[in-house]
Amino acid sequence: MTLEARKIRLLMQLRRAGITDTAVLAAIEKVPRELFVPPSFHDQAYENIALPIGLGQTISQPEVVALMTQSLEATRQHTVLEVGTGSGYQAAVLSRVCRRVYSIERHGDLLKQAEARFAELRLHNITSRRGDGSRGWPEPQSFDRIIVTCAAELPPEPLLAQLRDGGCLILPVGGQGRSQELLRLRKTARGVEREELGLVRFVPLVADLPEKRSTG
């Protein structure tokens, strides 16, 4: 089966799983997932599974990417912060449905690879930065939407502080080694409203940057 045929099969699976947002489905169709996985996994690029990308990180299964993107309710008027660039796949999908994406990643090597993919695909509305995503974007900024692609024990307060009134934050909450609850938090005049979207499994959100390895 060709990659194109596998992509069509995946899109049908996503529709059956409840992904109905046409902009999200179009983004999944247009972004070549095979560019975001190691060459040894190209033949599995359009399987509905997570795949390793190195440094203990994974590219999320397409159904989870689509669900989280759809749950953001983002439009071409919205600016989105992504915590956890990883391979860059989620940011690439977001770039097709919103005005601008700001993406932060703690692993410098993964970020360089993601930025090369953004350049190859000419995704000029993505701004990426290395940093501690639990602290939010390192410069003063506010966002219409925030998406966290790693699991936190609790929603980080700096992220809620950078979320504009009326905006929403999508993130998995729970401990490592077990399923987490995917939450949608809406920031309203009455406070933060919480909605549970289902169980997921993500690597943990880690504060601070990795220590540089000794070369001596």
The 3-class SS string of 130-195 reads ECCHHHCCCCCCCEEEEEECCEECCCCHHHHHHEEEEEEEEEEECCCCCCEEEEEEEEECCEEEEE
Q: Among 60, 95, 128, 134, which one carries the catalytic annotation? A: 60
Structural domain includes residue 59: yes
Bridge-based pairing of strands 51-54 and 57-59 is antiparallel
pTM attached to this predicted model: 0.92
Structural domain includes residue 106: yes
Structural domain includes residue 177: yes
Domain CATH for 46: 3.40.50.150
Q: Is 87 a catalytic residue?
A: no
Q: Is 215's pLDDT higher than 50?
A: no
Query: How many structural domains is the chain composed of?
Result: 1
Structural domain includes residue 207: no
pLDDT digits (tens, 9 = 90+) for 46-64: 999 999 998 888 999 999 9
pLDDT digits (tens, 9 = 90+) for 164-195: 999 999 999 987 667 899 999 999 989 999 99
Residues of the domain holding 181 = 3-200
Structural domain includes residue 162: yes
In three-state secondary structure terms, 134 is helix
Question: Residue 95: which of 79, 115, 109 has the closest Cα?
Answer: 79
Structural domain includes residue 101: yes
Structural domain includes residue 130: yes
Structural domain includes residue 41: yes
